[in-house]
Structures are given as structure tokens and as C-alpha cells.
Structure 1
Amino acid sequence: MKQTAKLFLVALVAGALTLGGYKYFVEPNTTVAYTTQDEASFIPTNYSSNITAAIDTDFTDAAEKTVNAVVHVKNTTISRQPSNIMEYFYGGGQARPMVGSGSGVIISPDGYIVTNNHVIENASQLQVTLNDNRTYNAELIGTDPKTDIALIKLDSNEEFPFVPFGDSNNVKIGEWVLAVGNPFNLTSTVTAGIVSAKARDLNEFDGNPQSFIQTDAAVNRGNSGGALVNTRGELIGINTAITSETGSYVGYSFAVPSNNARKVVEDIMEFGGVQRGILGISTLPTKLAQKQGIDITQGVYVAAIEKGSGADKGGLKEGDIIKQIDGYEIAKFSDLVGYLGSKRPNDVVDVTVDRKGTRKTVPVTLIKLETFTIEDTGLEVRNANKAQLDAYGVDNGVVVSNAATKDMLPLKGAVIVRVNDKNVTNIDDVREIMKSNGFGDPVKLTFVDRNGQLNSYIFR
């Protein structure tokens, strides 16, 4: 009995010590742990609500507004296959129809459709099939290969569903978008994704810079010319390209911004061709500028000012770094290309530059870019103004604005005064001379280089 009492007493004391120790040492820590748990649980709750918001994003309204305005475009071209050596060199052969296809977007109730130039290129016949399987013939209104945009029109007096243009300048990275098109010759197909980048240039070094909206919405063959829309059902881009080693979708697709496509379409309808406005500057790639010791990480470095241009008259200086245009941030050259692609000659833009550490904003009137590519030379020429001619000490000529090959790049900026020994004063003169040039005939260019030297090149 005494032994039992002792054991009971020991257990009682041990229990008291345990309870006291718990109260003294453990309970405060438990309170801290509990508070930490509350804070930790707050983070996943927020995260969870974001997921719910994303899941609750309703794509059905945008899809319903779009699918019936996105069409299937069938392009029939005639190809002649030579059957002997004479036909190979001099033309001829059996005519064979070849059929290609893509997508298009109806942008007005009277049946105007915007699509890609590569979808309808060289078409002898265009057929358009709507989402309800009605088929119409279509007429080619105009194209712009540089932006890969084309305008066609349905041969009908009916009213059609259409997609309204949105403002692609307001598109944000991470924004939900829908890609609507006709991949694999299906009726309108909708895929969803987000905007993963803006002002993406796929042709950085080929003389034709672009400014695409990049998205991870699934885009496959046949989607070209289709719609990229926001969740309000507004057209913010024309799906144009994918990047893939297999030719199939692997996660990135690219769309011409709607502001640029809309401007091209309006120019075609009003002028019959695209009116391009430029600042009148030459730029230096950021990496090359850095190698030359120029302190630049973002922006566009102004390497030279075209005499008599809007940039010259507006007060831009060599060495300026363009940071904004009309308040829009310019981080790289494709940002500049994308924004100016929605503008016209004689538009005035406010250009904000960093000039030796000081911010300065100057108004610049855009000048018209008119170019002509001289076949077999890879040289693109444009009209020269008086200030440029005076700078080179000549009375006539056209300026080499671009070169398709690296070995011709040294000619960029030179003034061509004669083509095939005939004086030229503008690109129309060059165009007419080249029209009279026979197939395989050499092309002789006489030009003045930056050092004032007169030289001639013969291209065979």
C-alpha cells in the first residue's frame, strides 16, 4: 500500500512538472507557430483566389463573337511544269492547279477580309468558306508583303458577322487571348493562351524588321491569317507565324498587331498601297553600340540623321537615345518599328530622348518612305531630298536605303546617279529603266559613295 502511494505521489509530481514545463516553455512557442501558420495560410489563400479568377475568366462570349467571322481561305494558283529543256529556259509547260489554304478575318459587314499575304500570294482564284459552310468567291483588293497583310472581299451583297478592331498598343504581357482559325481545314477552331511577349522581331538581320505579338495559344498550319482576340472579342492581331523545327506548334506563335494591320488595310482602301511614315534616322543595334562604348541598355541609339528629314527639322541629334514615342516606352528597335508601323507620313509624333543624361521631348513630322528594290542587285532605293543630294555634291539620284546581302551593305547610304548609264532623279525612273531590262541582262549602277567617289558596279 505504501509502495502504491509512493508511485502515485511520484506520478502526481511528474504530471505537475510536465504541465508546468509545457505552460512555461512550450505554450508561447505554440502561439508563435500558430501566428506563423496564419501568415502562411494567407499566402496560399491569395494564390488560390488568383487561380479561381483565372479559371472563372469566361472565354465563351469572345469565342461566340469571333468564330463566325473567321473564315477558311482557299487559294488556287496555276503552276507550269516544264517537260523539256527548252520550256525550262524559255517558259511554257503544262499548267497545273495548286491549292493552298489559310484563314481570314471578316472586318466589316460588307465582307472585307484581312488575311496574310502568303495565304493568297499568286492566287488565280480565291474561295472563302464561312463557319456555317457557305462558300463565296473573293476578290483580291491589295497586299503588303512587308507586313504580310492582304485585303480581300467577298463577292456578295449580304451582311456578314465581323470582328471589331481593338487597340494592340494596350495589350499587356500575361493577358488572356484567343487564337481563332482554320487549322487542318477544319471549321473555326478556338485555342486560348496568354500574351507572352510584345514587339518580337523574327527578322532582326534581314532588313525587314517586324514587331509581332507573341502568344502561347496553340497555332498550327492553316491558322495563318486568323484572328488573335482579347476576352472582349476585339481583334488585337492577325496570326502569321510559328517557330518550330517540325512545322507544328511547339509553344510560340506570332501575330501582326491589329493597329499595324488596320493601318495597312486602310491605306490599301484609300491609296491603293501602303503609306509608310519614318523619322529619317539611322540606328545602331544596342549590342554594337555597347561594343563602341556607348552606355545603352534600353532604347534606340540614333547613329545618323537624314538631312532635310522630320528628325533633322525637329531637332533630333546624332547620339540621342530614343526612350519614348507619344508616351509609349521604346526599349528596343522593334518597339520603334511597331509603333511607327501604325502611323502615316505627315503625322507628328513626340519623341522623348536621352541626350547625354538629360531627357528631352521633340515633335517630329514623319516623312514618306517610298522604296523600290532593284532586281538582281539586292539593293533597295528611295527618293533623295535636296539636302541629301547637296551633301553628296550631285544634282540627281536615289539613295540606297537597304541591302539584302552583307557584301552590299557598304553601299547603304550611297546615292545612285545612273542606272544602265541613264540619269535617275527618283525611284520611278529606276522602275521604268528596269522594266526595259531583258531577262538575264546585266544591271549597271553608277553611284557616289560617302567619300564623294564616283564608282560603277555591274551586276550580272
Structure 2
Amino acid sequence: MTAQTIPQALGGRGAVRGLARFAGAAMLGLALATGPTAPAFARGVPESFADLTEQVSPAVVNITTSTTVAAPVRPGPIFPEGSPFEDLFRDFGMPGGPGETAPQRSNALGSGFVISEDGFIVTNNHVIEGADEIEVEFFSGNTLPAKVVGTDPKTDIAVLKVESTKPLAFVKFGNSDVIRVGDWVMAMGNPLGQGFSVSAGIVSARNRELSGTYDDFLQTDAAINRGNSGGPLFNMNGEVVGVNTAILSPNGGSIGIGFSMASNVVQKVVTQLREFGETRRGWLGVKIQDISPDMAEAMGLKSTVGALVTDVPAGPAADAGMLAGDVITAFDGGEVKNTRDLVRRVADAPVGQAVRVTVTRGDKSQTLLVTLGRRELAEAEPVQTGMSTPQPTEREMLGMTIVPVSPDQAVELGLAETTQGLLIRSVSADSEAAKKGLRAGDVITEAGQQPVASLAELDARVAEAKAAGRKSLLLLIRRGGEPRFVALPVF
């Protein structure tokens, strides 16, 4: 049975592919020692979660939102203005005539938690998205209206603010990086609209990536259901280590696979939302992809560690001299393992900060000083690249039929009119190119990390790869303007 998408809050807010945005027992005893090392002791099942529950409950809240839903137009007979039938339809609860219905109010429920005594509250963005009114209910039963301070759809986090005449009980964030698989955790919230509820379990996995660029989820078997959206996931010290956000389920209920956005991601977002009302993430100004083993071989790299630069449009990296084909191996003093690692490191770096970025170019390593831009501003700007195009001459090679791309073809394919490269007209079904996902309409703009504008240049790159004893040739492919590298065999 496949996992189905479930409404994100009671009231039917949006969802994420096969995952629903929502707001077990551990082994008891001693671990067996191996070799001469000392035995490792596993913590026993907690005697009770009651003390922890009493400690943190006053800071956990239920959230109710109300939204005006546009009224659908009902089909019906049309009468002349002033007709007595108009009064008849209005008498039967159809204001405005037979073809209209009144706007309706839609309610949704979620959870959240207080992070300061002056009333700042954290929840999921999908819980309050589009809401006209937001009401927060505290464990004591008191309710207060809330206003939105800021939201971040990329991490599904929102910060609210309530005004209270008394200091509010609040909880602190813990360090999600020190949480281990197997650690006990406790979830609190408003599942299925039943009010304050507690569930407990263990962390069953870390560093889960679901659908977002900045995802870093803790997976837990603590029961999480609809209405738990935005609620806290506590460690045994009463610190928030995650925000309950999604479940994976074939039937709409908890089956022990829940996801909480890690607190170390949430904290940074919350700090910016409180200070600016929006996020301000660093921007390097490159397009990147992970390095596969065959790509590493084609490039003469010793490992697949790092992030391969596929494009460098106008921006901070271009200003610093970075080039397509560079492999970013370190950022601001820390090793870059892959593209996901780099994206998170750059996003966490302050806008305007000058950072050292180490790249491998050919067989040499060099360090560039890059002054970071702001991603939110850069994403709103169109990016174009381009060069001139030679006259077409078709050829079959590397399992493809290719021809230099014309200006008209480039525009039709979503590229700049002056884009230079080789257009793939067709791909042999049994070729390695087909297995790597290449298809008609793709454009080859580089081969062997050098620009190619003609078939002769591509022939030269193939010959160079063979002469160097390499089994594959690295191609830079553009599809609809988006670049990616692919390694194809040359023998």
C-alpha cells in the first residue's frame, strides 16, 4: 500500500508528495561488548514521562485558524430583475439570487509552543497560511489572538506573537545535532483536535530529507497525527529538539513514521523572522550537482566528495573568479561533502560576509574569497548566459544524433538566443546516453570542462579523453536552462 497525502491540518491545508504536513519501545538491558572494549550501557525505559509533561505543558499551545472561503457559484435558472421568483430563492437561504451562495468560514487546527515570556510562538507555516484569524489556546484554557510575525515556507516554520498581561511559560531549544538514533523523545500537541496530548518514542533516524532545499528532519516513532503540526518534540531535558511537521502514512493515521524539523535549523529561521520578519540567507551564485563515480573518473578526481559547479551566472561566485567545472571542496573553513551540505552552509552564512571557498580546478586546488549575496533577492532575478552559434552540421556520436544549436532553437528550448552548444536531436534507446537520462532537446554546452560550439570541438575533446587514458568524457547538459553534468563512455 503506498503512502497517501493527507491534509496538513484539520481543515485541509496543503501537502507534500506522499507525506502529510502535520502539525515504541526501546530495547532494555545491556549492549553486548565486542572485543576488549568496555561494555556499552543502554538506558532503560523511563519510569514515567509525567514529570517532564508537567514541566513543559504550560508552554505548549493549541492553534485554531479561521479563513474565509470564496463561495462557489451554483447553477440555477436566471430570472429578470424584479421577478417574484427572486424573493422565493432568497427566502430559501439563497442570498443574491439562484446562482449565488454566501462566503463560508473554514477552520483548521494545529499546535505550537511558546519560546519567550513576552509571547513569541513557533508553529508550522502550513498551519496558519492564508488565515484571517489566529487564536491560541494555552494549557490553562485561556485563549489569546495571535498575529503573524514572519513565515518561511522553505522550512515550513512560522513565528506568531500574542500580547499577555502576565509573563508566559516558555521552553528553550536544544541542540538537535547531539541527538542520537535511539534517544527517547516526547511529542506534544493537538492531534485530531482532541486537545493537549502527549506521545513518546525514540528517534528512529536523523538527517532525513523530504522535499525541501533546507530539510533536516528527525524521524521518530512517537505518534504524530493531524493537528500535531507545529508542536514540539522534546528531549528528556525538556528542550525542543524538533518541530513536528510531517508523517508518512498509507491510511492517514500515525504508523510510527513521523518527521520533526531539527531544532538547529528552526532556531536560525526563528531568529531571522523575529529580527527582520523574513529570512535572509546567504547566496553564493552557482548551480551545483553531486559527483557520481563515473564523473569523478572522467574528471580525474580521487573521490566523489564535494559539489560540482555546473553554471556560474553573474553574482558573487563569478565576481570571485569561480568557473563551471570547479569542484567546491571547502566553504568558510569547513569541508563540503556534497551539494546538500554546501547549500545549508551557504544559507547559514551571513549576507555580505566574505568567505573563503576552496575549489579543485583541473589537478590544482585554489581558494577564492567570495562576498555572499542574499538568496531571496537573487531568486527574483532572471539569469541568462550565451554566446554565438555556428552553422549546423549533423552527426551521430556517443549514442546521439547532434547538431550545433541555432538561435531560434535555443529560444524554443528556453535558453538565451545567443547560447552556444550542440543540440541533441535523438538518442539511441540502447545507448549509455539514454541510460543517463539524456533526450532529444538537451543541449551540450561543454565537453571535458571546455566549451563546445562545433562537432570538431567535440571530436577534439573525445580524442583528448582517450589520450589521457580516461574511460569517460564529462558533458555539461542544459535542459530548459538548467545545467547538469553527465559522464559518457568514449571507448
- Give the TM-score normalised by the residue count of structure 1: 0.63
Aligned to 1:300: 307
1:197 aligned onto 2:209: no
RMSD: 4.2
| CA 1:42–1:274: 2 relative to 1, 3 Å | closer
Cα 1:335–1:109 change in 2 (3 A) is same
Deviations 1:184-215 (A, max 9, x none): 223042423115121x3322xxxx52322231
Of 213, 224, 227, the residue aligned with 1:222 is 227
* Equivalent residue for 2:164, pick from 148, 156, 159: 156
Tell me the distance in 2 between the aligned counterparts of 1:58 and 1:357: 59
The CA distance in 1 between the partners of 2:341 and 2:161, in whole Å, is 31
C-alpha distance in 2 between matches for 1:197 and 1:47:
26
**Following TM superposition, by how much is the alpha carbon of 1:103 offset from its aligned partner in structure 2, in angstroms?**
0.8
Runs (5+) with no aligned partner, structure 2: 1-30, 77-94, 389-410, 419-444, 446-450, 453-491
In structure 1, what is the Cα distance between the partners aligned to 2:181 and 2:362? 31
Q: Which amino acid aligns with 1:282?
A: K
2:282 counterpart residue number: 277
CA gap of 1:49–1:283, structure 2 versus 1, over 3 A, is closer
CA distance in 1, matches of 2:112, 2:149: 14
CA 287–63 in structure 1, closer or farther in 2 if over 3 Å, else same: farther
Alpha carbons of structure 1 residues 287 and 209: separation in structure 2 relative to 1, 3 Å: farther
User: Of 57, 60, 69, which residue of structure 2 is paired with 1:67?
Assistant: 57
CA distance in 2, matches of 1:228, 1:169: 14
Aligned length: 346
1:382 match: secondary structure: coil
Cα deviations by residue, 1:412-457 (Å, 9 ceiling, x for unpaired): 7899xxxxxxxxxxxxxxxxxxxxxxxxxxxxxxxxx999xxxxxx
SS in 1 for 2:140: coil
CA distance in 2 between counterparts of 1:317 and 1:139 reads 45
**Residue 100 of structure 1: CA displacement?**
0.8
* Shift in alpha-carbon separation, 1:272–1:83, aligned structure 2, 3 A: same
The AA in structure 2 aligned to 1:248 is: G
* Corresponding letter in the other structure for 1:84: R
Q: Looking at secondary structure, tell me which structure has more helix per residue.
A: 1
What is the TM-score of this pair, normalised by structure 2? 0.59
Deviations 1:317-375 (A, max 9, x none): 43333344445554333333333343331134444555556666555332112359xxx
Q: Structure 2 vs 1, CA of residues 412 and 187 (structure 1 numbering), >3 Å: closer, same or farther?
A: farther
Whether 1:367 and 2:376 are equivalent positions in the alignment is no
**Could you tell me how far apart the structure 1 residues matched to 2:335 and 2:41 are?**
28
Q: What is the CA deviation profile of residues 375-400 of structure 1, one whole-angstrom value per residue up to 9, with x for unaligned ones?
A: xxxxx64267xxx79x789xxxxxxx
Residues 31-50 of structure 1 aligned to structure 2 (within 5 Å): 50=41
The question of whether the paired residues in 2 share the 8 Å contact of 1:211 and 1:337 is answered with no
Letter in 1 for 2:308: Y
- Report percent identity of matched pairs: 34
CA distance in 2, matches of 1:409, 1:127: 50
Confirm or deny: 8 A CA contact 1:211 1:335 kept in the other structure: no
Residue 84 of structure 1 corresponds to: 74
Q: In the alignment, is the contact (CA less than 8 A) between 2:209 and 2:217 conserved in 1?
A: no
Cα deviation, residue 240, structure 1: 1.3
In structure 1, runs of 5+ residues without a counterpart are 1-39, 373-379, 394-407, 416-448, 452-460
Is the 1:67–1:188 contact (alpha carbons within 8 Å) kept by the matching residues of 2? no
Q: Which residue of 2 aligns with 1:127?
A: 135
1:259-408 to 2 correspondences below 5 Å: 259-287=264-292, 290=295, 293=298, 297-309=304-316, 311-314=317-320, 316-326=322-332, 330-356=336-362, 362-371=368-377, 381-382=380-381
CA contact (8 A) 1:212 1:254 kept: no
Q: Which amino acid aligns with 2:340?
A: S
Alignment partners' CA distance in 1, 2:132 and 2:335: 43
- 2:290 and 2:306 in contact (8 A); partners too: no
Code of the residue aligned with 1:240 in structure 2: it is T
Matched, 1:235 2:240: yes
Show CA shifts across 1:156-206 (max 9, x none). 2321111222344555555443333221223042423115121x3322xxx
Note closer, same or farther for the CA distance 1:291–1:99 as it changes in structure 2 (3 Å cut). farther
